[in-house]
Each structure stands twice: as structure tokens, then as C-alpha cells.
Amino acid sequence: MDLIQSIFMGFVQGLSEFLPISSSAHLVFASGLYKFFTGNVVNVETGEEIFFNMMLHIGTLFAIFVFFKKEILDIIKALWIAIKTKSLENKDAKLGLYIILATFFTVLVAYPLKDFAEYLVYSPAIVGVLLIFTGIYLLLSEFVSKKIEKKPVTLKSSIIMGIAQGLAAFPGFSRSGLTIATGLFAGLNRVDCARFSFLLSIPIILGTSILYPVLELNMKDVVNYNWLSIAVGTIVSAIVGYYCIKYFLAFLAKFSLGFFAYYCIIAGAFFAVFFKFFA
């Protein structure tokens, strides 16, 4: 892993983790394009590649913690008080409970899909097709949302958003895209959907992108990795991720998801054809 590739992958991760365009799909595409243009194979099975991918997610997770630090602290405090008082009247405590329950349903859906989802990493053409479906789902959610009365996050909406997040185990199905669009179907406004989606991503990123790889890695080999490239990629993903959250929320306050929907459809079609017939 050279420095240029680590910067490139960090930028892709930071940009695509929070935008509804599937970060996993773009990492698959980026690896495929790198192989196509340089002739060098990015072997996702090596310990260093797994560790690098984990560190990229740590970068974007750090961006979430920094941006939502007040909300996260409020939720933790409210849950602690709720446990002591045995009362869930506080809205932050309810939000924390919704995140916990939604995460449970995410795991319930995603775990059985894990092996097949990992196989798709080697099939960028199929990933492109799934990205097309993400775009279509975004368009449909915007269409339906216009006809639904808006409401805050509820137990029901949080659970179905958790289920949608579970389906994002497949690369090409955008995690933020599916959760935000599902929230729109449930009657939430765009900004509330996005904020809940980002908070909901915290336990999943911790579990699937950090804790799971740590258990799989031989940590004795970590000292021999290219730490300069890993550190640079992580920092890039954190910085890009932070500003991506900031400007994406501002964007959603004024505009629809149509731009991202059409991007997913066009990019998905392009990469599906490219990797099927030319790469």
C-alpha cells in the first residue's frame, strides 16, 4: 500500500461513508480501478488491507464523534439517568433506546447475509447493479415523502431503519442511503433521517469494521505494516468525513436526494458495464 493509494482510499471512504452513494461500493470500485490502471492487485484478504480498511472506518467514526459530540453525550447521560430512575420520559433517553433497538434488528438482518456480502467484494459488476437499486430507492422515497405528514423519530421508524441498515451489508446498498430513504418512507424529514442515520452507524461501525477485524487479525503482524500510509489514510478519511457530514446536512435542509439518486443510477450502470465487459 503506497502513500498515494492510501490518500485516495481515505478520501473515497470519508466522502462516501456518509453520502448516500455506498462507501463499500466505491471502495470496491476504487480497488478495481487501481488494479486496472496500475496492474497492481489490491488483495483485500491480506491482514494489512483488512487493518487499513478498519483504520479508514476509525477515521470516519472519529468524524461522527466530533460532529455529534453534544448529542452523543446527551444520549449517554439520559440513558444513565433513565436506568437509575427507571423512566424513559427524556427524549434523549428514548433516542438512545431507539438506536439500541434499531442496532439489534440490523444485526438480526445482516449476520445471515455476511458470507454472501463478503463474496460480492470480488464482483464489482454486481455491486454496480446494487448501486442502481439504491438510486431507484432514493427516488421512490422522495416521491412518497412529499405525500406523507412529517413526524419525529418513533420506535417503529427506528426499527425499520435498523432493518434497512442490515440490508446494507451488501456492498452497493448504501447504508446511509437505505436508512435515510426508509426514514422518508416512514414520514421523517430529511435532516432528522440523516442525523439518526449517522448516530445509528456508530455501533455498527464499531462492531463490523473495528471489533470484528481485530478478532480476525494476527496483531503481532501489525507492527510490520506501512504505518505512514495507514496513518495518512485514516487522517484523510476523518477530515473528509467531518466536512462531508457538515455540508451534507446543510444540503438536505434545502434540497432533495434526487442528485444522489441519479448519481447512484448512472455510476452503478457505468461500473456494472465497465467491470463486466472491459476490466
Mean pLDDT, to the nearest integer, of 120-124? 84
Q: Distance between CA atoms of 270 and 133, rounded to whole angstroms?
A: 14
The mean pLDDT value for 105-134 works out to 91
Q: Is residue 89 over pLDDT 90? A: no
The percentage of the chain sitting over the pLDDT mark of 70, rounded to a whole number, equals: 94
> pLDDT at residue 239 above 60?
yes
Condensed to tens digits (0 to 9), the pLDDT of residues 6-34 reads 998 899 889 888 999 997 888 788 878 87
> Most confidently modeled of 21-35, 80-94, 96-110?
96-110
Which is higher by pLDDT, 244 or 210? 244
Please report the pLDDT score of residue 43 as a whole number: 53
Q: What angle do CA 264, 277, 45 make, to 5 degrees?
A: 75
Write down the pLDDT at residue 36.
84
Supply the pLDDT for residue 70: 97
pLDDT at 38: 83
Average pLDDT across the chain, whole number: 90
The highest-confidence range among 32-41, 70-79, 120-129, by mean pLDDT, is 70-79
For the cut 90, the answer to whether the pLDDT of residue 211 exceeds it is no
- Overall average pLDDT of the 224-230 stretch: 84
* Chain-centre distance for alpha carbon 24: 8
Q: Over range 117-137, report the average pLDDT.
A: 92
pLDDT recorded at residue 53: 82
pTM for the model stands at 0.90
d(CA 17, CA 14): 6
- What local confidence, expressed as pLDDT, does residue 1 receive? 66
- In the structure, what pLDDT confidence band is assigned to residue 101 with cuts at 50, 70 and 90? very high
Among residues 92, 103, 248, 97, the alpha carbon closest in space to that of 164 is found at 103
pLDDT value at residue 220: 67
Residue 223 is predicted with a pLDDT of 67
DSSP 148: S
Locate the DSSP E strands across the chain.
Answer: none
Separation in Å, CA 6 to CA 43, 56, 195, 217? 14, 9, 28, 20
